[in-house]
Every structure is written in C-alpha cells, then in structure tokens.
Amino acid sequence: MAEELTESKRADGGDSELDQEIGSATVVIFRSGLTDTRSVVRALRQHGIDFREVEMPMGSEQMRNRFQRLQQMTGWGSLPQIFVHGAFVGGPDELLQHPILNPGNQQQPEASQRKRRERGRWTGRMIGYAGLLPILTGLAVAVLAPQGAHDQAVVATLLYGAAILAFLGGVHWGTALLRERRPRAVMIFSVLPVLVAWLGAWVGISGIPGIGALALAAGFAGWFGYEGTTDPGTAFPGWYRRMRGQLTVVTCTAFLLLALFA
C-alpha cells in the first residue's frame, strides 16, 4: 500500500525528510496516485525484495514543491522515481533491468546500459523533430508558391497540424488506459485536442484558413500548458517534456505565420 505524504509530514519541508524516505526500504518507489507501478511491484514481490511505495500527490503548492525538490535531487522529470539501496536508478524500465532483479546483469557495464537508454532517447527525439518537416515545408510552399500550390499547401498543412494535435491528446488517452486506476479527468481532457484539431481543420478548409491556423496554434500552446499542470504520473521522461517545449514553440510560430500568409 502506497503511503501518502501528508501535509503534516511536510511541515518542516527539508530534504532530510526525503533522505529518510529513500532509506526506508531496499527499494523505494516515489509515485503519484495515477502512476502505474504494477510491473515493478509484481517483479519485486516475485523476488521477495523489501520495497515501499511513497505516494506524492500534487494537490497543493507545498506538495508540488516537494516533488520539485525530488526532481532536483535526481535530475529525473517525472514519476515514478525509484531508489535501490538509497541510490537513484531511474524509472520502471531501469529497475526491471537492475541487477537486484536480474543478477545476470551485474556484469553488464554501466556504460552499455547508458548507451542503450541513449539510443532510445535519440530515436524518440529524431522522430519528434522530423515531425516538424511537413509543417515547415507546407509553410514555405504557402509563402513562396503561386496561388494554386499555395492553397493546396495551406490545406495540407492545416490537416497535418490537426492530425498531430489529435495525436498529442491520444498519447495521454493511451497512457491513462495503461494505469491501474484510470484517471477520469485525464481521459476527458485528452479529448480536447481532438476537438480543437477538428474545429481548426473544418474552419480552415471551409474558406477561413487564417482562423483555422490560429485555432491550431492556440491548441498546441494550450495543450502544452495543460501538460505542465497535470500530475506527472504519466511517467513521461524528462527529455520528452523538453522536446515538447521546443516543438511547441516552432509549431505555434509556424501556424501563426501560416495565418498571416493564408
């Protein structure tokens, strides 16, 4: 059973309090109420390893500040955050590969594990940044091409932007389905990007492309802002959040320019 860190326990607010939690069991899992930790809990129980789940709700500024201190301590941008023998190891994927669960991995060089994790990050980043190419290409054609190609480029870019915005909502919807306790609020709000994308595309192809582009720009900016206020139990890695910020700036700028030239 996860133990919730209550306001009374947070009264002194020092990092020594986190240190006590980190050393309270062989494996300590800092999680939110929405975090799905079933895979690691199952593995720990199968191996008979002493563990503890510490729940970190985000219901107040004081609670969020505590999570920020944990972030500063580990450099990890989301929950769950897992410690083994008092040392931070990462999230569920890292724990499932840790020697405490896989004694055969003890001989595997740490550099090799880091390289494998970095390959995964590199793949995610490349796919994410490559997603900008159709938007930037469509903007360039809309600005430079003659009228016929201009109109086609505007419509194609609006439709692609709508698809990407809907995809971002689908990421949260899919993540929510994987959780042990499916958060109703996340599932409801994750539909909003789809509706904004539909509205932007509809308005855009109905003869008001500038307004459609502005709607999509607002949708991208608004969704990124919403992601920053939601519970971090989605377990998205820190690099994903940073990449999302960069992509959002470029995408919003592109659609604002498209609105001007549409």
Distance CA 238, CA 32 (A): 16
| Residues 142, 145, 146, 151, CA torsion sign | negative
Across the chain, which has 262 residues, the per-10-residue mean pLDDT values are 41 62 87 81 87 81 80 81 89 85 60 69 90 95 91 95 94 74 76 95 93 96 85 63 92 96 88
Q: Which of 185, 187, 169 is nearest to 177 (CA)?
A: 187
Taking the alpha carbons of 93, 94, 96, 102 in that order, is the dihedral positive or negative? Answer: positive
pTM of the model: 0.60
Distance CA 103, CA 250 (A): 45
How far apart, in whole angstroms, are the C-alpha atoms of residue 84 and residue 239? 23
Range 185-190, long-range pairs (CB < 8 A, 24+ positions): 186/34, 186/230, 186/231, 186/234, 189/226, 189/230
Residue 111: its pLDDT value, please? Answer: 58
State the Cα–Cα distance between residues 185 and 32, nearest whole angstrom: 15
pLDDT at 140: 95
pLDDT at 110: 57
Say if CB 180 and CB 38 are below 8 A apart. yes
* The residue to which tokens 């593995």 are assigned: 43
CA dihedral 71, 74, 78, 82 (to 10 degrees): -130
Can you give the pLDDT at residue 233? 47
